[in-house]
Structure 1
């Protein structure tokens, strides 16, 4: 695996986003324990896992920031739950950082003079 000293690139955390109710009543269709993962730029849903598109619209802007390294006292490092955007809904989404992955700049950039083989073409 490459690191910062060998090649230009960056680390991203894989994320698991899980629905939590903790006794609260949802208004929207939220089922305790349903989840999806974020790996690189991809949202990965398991069989029969569902997430409200309205809730997802509220989560999407936070996910890239949650993937990146942040200072220990930054709220992005310390706060893990995000409320459903419906103010009457008790649904929450817990965003958990998991494994860190290295992404080569050459495998992820669109700049023609810096392009390499896209990272997803090297995956099985």
Structure 2
């Protein structure tokens, strides 16, 4: 096996609730609520709402509220470098890039 650089970077994120002025948010969140993702750590302030982020990674039905509502704002707040070997026990055999 060759000496591969197994580092990678992840953005730190701040995920904030936004809503159109005067419009209700039916999920119980309120304007200004937030959570942060720092490296691999998800940090939730007291009373925070955890959005179903996986739904935003897939195609949804046009009638699904996840297709029409945009009440979360994702802000990149930093970037962190990781090593593959520090995040998994599966060996990195060869580069796919």
> What is the TM-score of this pair, normalised by structure 1?
0.54
Picking from 64, 67, 78, the partner of 1:99 is: 78
Offset of residue 22 of structure 1: 2.9
Which ranges of 4 or more aligned residues in structure 1 deviate by more than 4 Å?
A: none
**Does 1:35 find its partner at 2:34?**
yes
Higher Cα Rg, which structure: 2
Offset of residue 85 of structure 1: 2.9
Q: Name the count of aligned residue pairs.
A: 81
User: Which has the higher relative contact order, 1 or 2, with Cα contacts under 8 A spaced 6 or more apart?
Assistant: 2
1:97/1:21 CA distance change after superposition, 3 Å: same
- Answer 1 or 2: which has greater helix percent: 1
Gaps of at least 5 residues in structure 2 are: 58-64, 93-97
Listed one character per residue, the Cα deviations across residues 3-47 of structure 1 (whole Å, up to 9, x for unaligned) are xxx83110100000001113122122011101000122321112x
